[in-house]
Amino acid sequence: MELNIEEIVDQFSEKLLRYADSILCNRQDAEDVVQEVFMTAHQNGGRFDGRHLSAWLYKMTYNSSIDKIRKRRILPFAEVPGQRVSVTSKSLILREEVVHVGFDQRFAKLNLVRRAYQKKGESLMKQSNLCEKWQALIATENQKPYMQALKQQLLAEYNSRTVYPPHTEIMKALEVTPFDQVKVVILGQDPYHGPGQAHGLSFSVLNGNRTPPSLLNIFKELSDDLGVSRPTETDLTPWAKQGVLLLNTTLTVLAGAPMSHANLGWEIFTDEILKAIDNQLENVVFILWGSHAQKKIRFINPDKHLIIKSTHPSPLSAHRGFFGSKPFSKTNDYLKSKNILPVNWQLK
């Protein structure tokens, strides 16, 4: 009788999940173990190595429930913490049952990896602490082919390369600024591509990093425009918490490779965000610096909103129209004219 490889691995996956669940007594932790197993297999060219599987289970279960594992003696683990697990056969022992997993390259041709960490893929675009309207927008986009392809690409790259920002902060702009509180949109291009900089807000950098040149120029214009001192902190979260949506048109980037994710599909998603703001809100100020951001004017109704545009604050263009453009005072003047609380732009 010919074996159905996909069915065998499906059964194996379920046994592995039941086993991890019984040891950890926590379904979420068990699912995380299984995802790690399949990710390791994916990075190993699609091969499922019994040594990898046992090592993962040993690593994930040892610290949390060593007494239970020793008592049940299900895994052939070492008695000394941190000692390498030695499994000579190409198999994994599950409740005294040996499930053989071959090294055949046929596994690489199946969609097993995609199913195995589908849940993690969903987490890239789903944050429980987003407001209902942002969640609804994301749920709609998640059904579209471009977003499904985007998530698969991101999963592969987050698990094999360095990508910024951390995957938990991809939606930071939407998380910090709820939909109904948006009163200003500052549109950026893509995240900073150096370590420890990007954290999901356009132009913003985590405190403790060197201030990027564009942000330095933004602070210079802020000081000249409002007569305030130039900030020393680079984290713009205080603006975001006041209703300033700091949105990049592309939400991720490979380390050291600016615009590397520019054509993955993020622009479609962020265009939908701009359309939703334009259609459902009124009297929003859109600050568009540079030609890239100004291409989005087609999504904004000037009869409902204020559009402020100038050259980009980059050192290459700031002297050609950004300096002296007074975007901060213009924004507050407009908001006050609509009886909307102005933004306190002062940072520490």
φ/ψ (deg, to 5) at 214: -65, -40
Considering the entire predicted model, what is its pTM? 0.67
Q: How many CA atoms lie within 13 A of 97 on its CB side?
A: 9
Residue 275 pLDDT class (50, 70, 90 cuts) = very high
Determine whether 237 is exposed, middle or buried from the number of CB atoms within 10 Å of its CB (0-12, 13-18, 19+): buried
Contacts of residue 186, Cβ cutoff 8 Å, sequence gap at least 6: 202, 203, 239, 244, 245, 246, 247, 287, 289
- What pLDDT, on the 0 to 100 scale, is given for residue 62? 41
- What's the rounded Cα separation, in Å, for the pair 181 and 239? 12
pLDDT greater than 80 at residue 277: yes
- What pLDDT, on the 0 to 100 scale, is given for residue 11? 52
> Which comes out higher in pLDDT, residue 77 or 47?
47
- What's the rounded Cα separation, in Å, for the pair 253 and 259? 6
DSSP state of 231: P
Contact yes or no for 104/49 (Cβ under 8 A): no
Q: How is residue 296 written in tokens?
A: 């989005």
pLDDT greater than 90 at residue 52: no
> What is the helix (H) or strand (E) element at residue 254, kind and residue range?
strand 253-254
- What's the rounded Cα separation, in Å, for the pair 63 and 79? 13
When pLDDT is averaged across residues 24-51 and rounded to a whole number, the result is: 53
Q: How many CA atoms lie within 13 A of 333 on its CB side?
A: 9
Average pLDDT score over the chain: 75
Residue 41 pLDDT class (50, 70, 90 cuts) = low
- What pLDDT, on the 0 to 100 scale, is given for residue 111? 38
Residue 39 pLDDT class (50, 70, 90 cuts) = low
When pLDDT is averaged across residues 212-223 and rounded to a whole number, the result is: 94
Residues in the chain: 348
Nearest alpha carbon to residue 281 among 240, 340, 237, 337: 340
When pLDDT is averaged across residues 282-309 and rounded to a whole number, the result is: 95
Residue whose token pair is 């991809």: 170
Contact yes or no for 191/285 (Cβ under 8 A): no
- What pLDDT, on the 0 to 100 scale, is given for residue 30? 54
Residue 38 pLDDT class (50, 70, 90 cuts) = low
pLDDT greater than 80 at residue 305: yes
User: What positions carry a catalytic annotation?
Assistant: 190
Contact yes or no for 61/72 (Cβ under 8 A): no
Nearest alpha carbon to residue 290 among 310, 272, 265: 310
- What pLDDT, on the 0 to 100 scale, is given for residue 273? 97
When pLDDT is averaged across residues 221-233 and rounded to a whole number, the result is: 93
Note the Cα 296 to chain centre separation in Å: 23
Peptide bond into 165 cis (omega under 30): yes
- What pLDDT, on the 0 to 100 scale, is given for residue 85? 33
**Tens-digit pLDDT profile for residues 149-185:** 998 888 888 878 899 998 889 999 999 999 999 999 9
**Tens-digit pLDDT profile for residues 59-81:** 444 444 433 433 333 333 333 33
When pLDDT is averaged across residues 106-121 and rounded to a whole number, the result is: 40
> Which comes out higher in pLDDT, residue 329 or 70?
329
**Tens-digit pLDDT profile for residues 114-148:** 344 444 455 555 555 889 999 999 999 999 999 98
- What pLDDT, on the 0 to 100 scale, is given for residue 348? 80
Distances (CA, A) of 175 to 42, 84, 326: 31, 41, 28
- What's the rounded Cα separation, in Å, for the pair 282 and 271? 17
Residue 40 pLDDT class (50, 70, 90 cuts) = low
pLDDT greater than 50 at residue 9: no
pLDDT greater than 50 at residue 15: yes
- What pLDDT, on the 0 to 100 scale, is given for residue 224? 96
Q: What DSSP letter does each residue of 152-215 carry, written as one string?
A: HHHHHHHTTS-EES-GGGTTHHHHHS-GGG--EEEEESS---STTT--SSTT---TTSPPPHHH
- What pLDDT, on the 0 to 100 scale, is given for residue 77? 32
When pLDDT is averaged across residues 242-257 and rounded to a whole number, the result is: 94
**Tens-digit pLDDT profile for residues 330-343:** 999 999 999 999 99
Residue 44 pLDDT class (50, 70, 90 cuts) = low
- What pLDDT, on the 0 to 100 scale, is given for residue 18? 58
- What pLDDT, on the 0 to 100 scale, is given for residue 328? 97
